[in-house]
Structure 1
Amino acid sequence: MFLPYKSLMNVTPEQITTIFLKHFPSEEIKAISEIQQSFVNPVYHVMLSNHEEFILKINNPCWPNKSLREVIALSLVKEKTTIPTPELVAFDFIKEAVPWKYLIQKKVAGQELREAIRLGKMEYTTFLEIIQAIGRYLGELHSISFNVFGDFSISSPRFSSQGASPGVFWGKQFDDWCSCFQAFCLDNLNWVDQSSFPNYRPALRKKIQEFSRAFPRTEKSCFVHSDLQPTNILVEDGKIAAIIDWEWSFAGSPSFDFTLTQAGIYYSAFPSISGSKMYDQFPSLSREQFNQALLAGYQSTNKFDLVPQPTELAEFIWLLFLIGSWDWCVQASSAETVKELKQNVHELYQKIIT
């Protein structure tokens, strides 16, 4: 089976040098280091001779419009919100310097929210203030509206789509949220692995239909991040320095995105079906307090009445993603981790389906 992972992209230091010479011809590269946490795109931290630091993101060609979507997203967010994001320095979608599309951002000073908490560098009150700030920014983001659902990168007046991503979701648009949700779920279920857990797949496809029928047909379309979790939130001096990784954003449901954000931050690192150990140093933190802080922040910038979502929806989405990328998980994880992930798959399936 072909697995479209970044490990199959042989990016050399010479090619990275070529990219930076194009945009910074008077500077030399002082240091290059790969950011290992990135799974799909090769991502590099690059320091130049003038000590400026940048993040280079090279677009995995199996998802040809990821960089385009991120550029459009960053442009919209900068124009219409106060959300802090990395500064976009340069991009190339015509593959002039190297055989891949890419974008370059200024490196943001700060560290991942999860890491800051793990290292004990955050007080309980500061954490709740950050959760409220996330809610405020999410409310601003959901104020950006669209006339369709799905991939907003294929209708931008400034950029044109160059190639369609495989699957049933990316590169496509939908008239209603129900159709968009179905395509989004099927895309997750078949992301890079269409064969693992074959006995579970028919019931999961049926569950997708059940969920989609429960959504109101009048749900509005707005800008959703879809991957807002602690690894994509950078903090500095007790405040949010930047929200990053916008390549999976799309035109979707505000209620759905709010639910995903709740779960993504509270659980910290999917797949988990219990509160994250990340918050062990906050023994008084309850799920209710967490939800109240996020909602209070959201309602301060967006008066939209969020539609209650099924309680197991966020876990269901993660179950689809985990099964749909199982071969990837096996290759990227230790035997012990794979055993734990497999147990999580079985537990989530039993909880949601049976």
Structure 2
Amino acid sequence: MDKLQQVIDRFNLNVLTIEDVPQSFSSAVYQIKLMDHRTVYIKIPYSKAKLEREYTVLERLRDELSVPQVLDYWEGNEDVTGALLLAAINGVPATGRVDAELSYDIGVQHAKLHAIIPNDQDFNSAVSNVYSQWSEFIQKQFYSFAADVKEVIEPRLFEQSLQHFERHLKLLPSPDGPCFIHMDFRPGNILVYENQVAGIIDFESVRIGATEMDFTKINRDIFMKYPGTMEAYQRGYESIRPLIDLQEVLPFFRFTDAFNAIGWCKRRGIEKHRNFLQENLAYLSAFFMKVQ
């Protein structure tokens, strides 16, 4: 039986229409319009760990942040990893132009996530605590992609990358945490309505860690594209909690993000993700031209 149909049957849904949700890279996500004209979402993560992590975090954060409400949860069977049935949030991904007003609110909402202090139960949940081995976690992430990257880029650029990583990892400031970090905080996972943040989605990669890694993708996709947004974001963020010195950490994490993204493209299919691959290759090459 088709996996999606199994999930629909399990949740006992009367379906009118089904649409794939694009830009979902670690789960299969479907927008479901029901016969009573309500809209819900089915999310089928690619692994049990992602399923359990997202369910745990959504239940934990539901009274603290605007996150999708879990309407139903299925642990799965031998064919399906499991699934979440999620209520819709009235908003659209922030993938268009971002102005200072919206960037300010993104800063507010991001800080609210980081301001949630993990408790004893959180440290014993499905959410991994990587804060206590923060440098080791960054290393593990980087080197997990290195074998893939090595097959794609020139040997000299690869060696430069390894040397730069090891040298600058030691120069990072003391980690800011422990707190919940989204790990994929990008425009596609920030829903907006009337130029305000309506909700934050996709918590399957969440960790208990340090904040500095969590600014990487909004730097790449918002700050570097739209002038004035970093300053507005900082004002919003600092209205909730202190912000680390972004200029001290963003160059390093932008570099590691580009390196890791190249490895990710190799794993997921170069032809399918060629544009993203070329974008990160160009950034990495230009980066080392500047630091020489």
1:346 aligned residue (282, 285, 291): 285
Separation in 2, partners of 1:266, 1:337? 16
1:332 aligned residue (265, 269, 272): 272
- Pair 1:48 & 2:34 matched: yes
SS at match of 1:309: helix
Structure 1 residue 21: Cα displacement: 2.4
Instruction: Tell me if structure 2 keeps the 8 A contact 1:18–1:97.
Output: no
Separation in 1, partners of 2:175, 2:91? 40
Instruction: Compare 221-230 and 339-348 and name the one that shifted more.
Output: 339-348
Q: In 2 relative to 1, CA 225–348 (structure 1 residues): closer, same or farther, beyond 3 Å?
A: same
Instruction: Tell me if structure 2 keeps the 8 A contact 1:136–1:297.
Output: yes
Instruction: Tell me if structure 2 keeps the 8 A contact 1:177–1:219.
Output: no
Structure 1 residue 216: Cα displacement: 3.6
Separation in 2, partners of 1:317, 1:147? 30
TM score, norm. by length of structure 2 = 0.84
TM score, norm. by length of structure 1 = 0.70
- Structure 1 runs not aligned, ≥5 long: 1-11, 118-123, 162-170, 268-274, 280-285
Separation in 2, partners of 1:173, 1:53? 36
Structure 1 residue 105: Cα displacement: 1.0
2:57 alignment partner AA: A
Q: In 2 relative to 1, CA 343–301 (structure 1 residues): closer, same or farther, beyond 3 Å?
A: closer
SS at match of 1:330: coil
Separation in 2, partners of 1:52, 1:178? 45
Structure 1 residue 316: Cα displacement: 0.5
Map 1:1-354; keep pairs closer than 5 Å. Answer: 14-24=2-12, 27-61=13-47, 64-79=48-63, 81=64, 83-93=65-75, 95-96=76-77, 98-115=79-96, 117=97, 127-146=99-118, 155-156=124-125, 173=130, 175-189=132-146, 195-197=151-153, 199=155, 200-217=157-174, 219-257=176-214, 259-260=215-216, 262-266=218-222, 275-276=224-225, 279=226, 286=227, 289-303=228-242, 306=245, 309-327=248-266, 328=268, 330-333=270-273, 342-351=281-290, 354=292
Q: In 2 relative to 1, CA 174–228 (structure 1 residues): closer, same or farther, beyond 3 Å?
A: closer
Structure 1 residue 302: Cα displacement: 0.9
Instruction: Tell me if structure 2 keeps the 8 A contact 1:323–1:345.
Output: no
Q: In 2 relative to 1, CA 44–300 (structure 1 residues): closer, same or farther, beyond 3 Å?
A: same
Separation in 2, partners of 1:304, 1:311? 13
Count of equivalent residues: 290
Structure 1 residue 65: Cα displacement: 0.9
Instruction: Tell me if structure 1 keeps the 8 A contact 2:265–2:277.
Output: no
